[in-house]
């Protein structure tokens, strides 16, 4: 039986771009079965603009009633779909003409969460192959571990509506609503795959929705939510390492202070961190000892963060604290990140 595909487009003040998005749907080599455009209380004629396409596309236009942001728009739109699969399209992006065909083929080969490969467009000139450093992910191995470290699933993904509903769908977030959803889909058993060709056209512009948010702050919210619902020591450890890198010294707030032992001082010294410069050390139940080490004179000097595991004691992460508190890891030697062929050291660096 052929699976049915529905597209959801959350739109707010999108008149400038919406014709191109919907036009790309009208020219697909394999048409979709349903399209829902969700007007998130626009100040312009987004809804009326979308309705002009109802004679050539299987399209419905709905409104949110109150401004909710992308998470609420997508949630409302997906609730209107009756299709087996949900495919996402941002209102300022486009599909290449064979996008739906390529995505369906990828899903047939490996049902689950299908992430498209991106092209980029500035609004002028030809589409470009995206310079996308995360394109090689997922690697063979633990996809959830990799996804906790970095979001390698593109916004225009496709996934089963039934599984989406089982995990509770989109939920309120300031930013990173997609990553929050992908983590729960993969944790529930969805496997990530990607088609061979790049077919999702991502518009590059300075005033995009994502430019309104500090990504580290938003990703901190997503990781914290994941931790609140996760019982697995392995994934809690990986999520905490990813969280530590985003918030740096703030990670130790609320943790119990612990002294650094002579054995741990030796480990720090071997890593080039002076034990006499230890500013604070705190114990975390999954990570071990999180140590803040000064690298300069005075309170305003530089700082490194090191994570010392136990049984046996060893250095599992070390790196300088950069602007905004983020930790740029120089070293990662953690067994939970090297438990299969998908070593994640390079992701966290």
The tokens of 40 are what?
Answer: 């998130």
The tokens of 69 are what?
Answer: 């942001």
Q: Where are the alpha helices (DSSP H) in the chain?
A: 15-26, 46-51, 70-80, 99-109, 143-149, 161-166, 177-187, 215-229, 233-247, 262-270, 345-348
- The pLDDT of residue 212 is above 50: no
Cβ neighbors of 162 (< 8 A, separation 6 or more) are 84
Q: What is the pLDDT of residue 125?
A: 81
174 DSSP β-pair partners: none
The tokens of 223 are what?
Answer: 């990781």
Proportion of the chain above pLDDT 90, given as a percent: 72
SS3 of residue 288 by DSSP: strand
User: How do residues 175-204 score in pLDDT, each as one tens digit?
Assistant: 899 999 999 999 999 999 999 999 999 998
83 DSSP β-pair partners: none
- The pLDDT of residue 340 is above 60: no
The tokens of 170 are what?
Answer: 């989109």
Cβ neighbors of 92 (< 8 A, separation 6 or more) are 14, 16, 17, 21, 203, 205, 208
Q: What average pLDDT does the segment 275-298 reach?
A: 91
Residue 320 · residue 302 · CB < 8 Å: yes
Find, among 59, 52, 70, the residue nearest to 35 by Cα: 59
Q: What average pLDDT does the segment 85-104 reach?
A: 97
Could you give the CA distance from residue 81 to residue 35 in angstroms, rounded to a whole number? 8
Q: Is the dihedral of CA 325, 133, 218, 331 positive or negative?
A: negative
- The pLDDT of residue 298 is above 70: no
Q: What is the pLDDT of residue 139?
A: 85
Provide the 10 A C-beta neighbour count for residue 52.
15
- The pLDDT of residue 235 is above 60: yes
Indicate the Cα dihedral angle 137, 138, 140, 142, nearest 10°: 130
Q: What average pLDDT does the segment 141-159 reach?
A: 93
Domain ranges of the chain: 5-214, 230-348
Q: How many residues are listed for the chain in this entry?
A: 349
Find, among 14, 8, 202, 210, the residue nearest to 93 by Cα: 202
- The pLDDT of residue 214 is above 70: no
Proportion of the chain above pLDDT 70, given as a percent: 90
DSSP state of 216: H
Q: How far is CA 147 from the centre of its chain?
A: 7
Residue with tokens 């039986």: 1
Q: What is the pLDDT of residue 213?
A: 47
Q: What is the pLDDT of residue 341?
A: 45
Considering just the CA atoms, what is the radius of gyration of the chain in Å? 23
Q: What is the pLDDT of residue 349?
A: 53
pTM over 0.85: yes
Q: Could you tell me which residue, 85 or 234, shows the higher pLDDT?
A: 85
In the predicted model, what is the mean pLDDT of the chain?
90
Diameter of the chain measured on Cα atoms? 76
Residue 109 · residue 193 · CB < 8 Å: yes
The tokens of 88 are what?
Answer: 């996402």
Q: 5-214 is classed in which CATH architecture?
A: Alpha-Beta Complex (3.90)
């Amino acid at each position: 039986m052929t699976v049915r595909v529905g597209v959801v487009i959350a739109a707010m003040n999108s008149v400038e771009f919406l014709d191109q998005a919907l036009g790309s749907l009208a020219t697909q080599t394999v048409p979709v079965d349903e399209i829902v455009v969700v007007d998130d209380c626009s100040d312009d004629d987004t809804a009326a603009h979308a309705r002009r396409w109802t004679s050539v596309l299987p399209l419905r236009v709905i409104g949110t009633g109150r401004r909710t942001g992308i998470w609420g728009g997508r949630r409302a739109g997906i609730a209107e779909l009756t299709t087996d699969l949900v495919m996402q399209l941002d209102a300022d992006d486009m599909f290449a003409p064979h996008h739906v065909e390529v995505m369906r083929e990828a899903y047939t080969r490996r049902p689950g969460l299908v992430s498209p490969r991106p092209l980029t467009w500035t609004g002028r000139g030809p589409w470009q192959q995206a310079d996308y450093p995360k394109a090689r992910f997922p690697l063979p191995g633990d996809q959830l571990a990799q996804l906790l470290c970095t979001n390698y699933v593109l916004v225009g993904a496709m996934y089963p509506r039934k599984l989406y509903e089982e995990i509770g769908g989109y939920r309120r977030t300031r930013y990173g609503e997609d990553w929050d959803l992908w983590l729960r889909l993969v944790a529930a058993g969805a496997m990530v795959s990607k088609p061979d060709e790049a077919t999702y056209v991502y518009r590059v512009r300075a005033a995009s929705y994502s430019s309104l948010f500090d990504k580290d702050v938003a990703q901190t919210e997503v990781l914290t939510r994941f931790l609140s619902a996760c019982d697995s020591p392995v994934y809690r450890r990986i999520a905490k390492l990813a969280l530590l890198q985003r918030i740096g010294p703030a990670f130790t707030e609320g943790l119990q202070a612990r002294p650094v032992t002579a054995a741990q001082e030796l480990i720090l010294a071997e890593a080039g961190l002076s034990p006499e410069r230890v500013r604070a050390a705190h114990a975390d139940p999954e990570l071990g000892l999180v140590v803040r080490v000064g690298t300069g004179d005075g309170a305003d000097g530089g700082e490194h963060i090191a994570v010392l595991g136990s049984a046996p004691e060893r250095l599992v992460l070390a790196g300088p604290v950069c602007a905004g508190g983020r930790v740029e890891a120089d070293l990662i030697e953690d067994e939970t990140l090297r438990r299969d062929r998908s070593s994640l050291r390079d992701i966290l660096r």
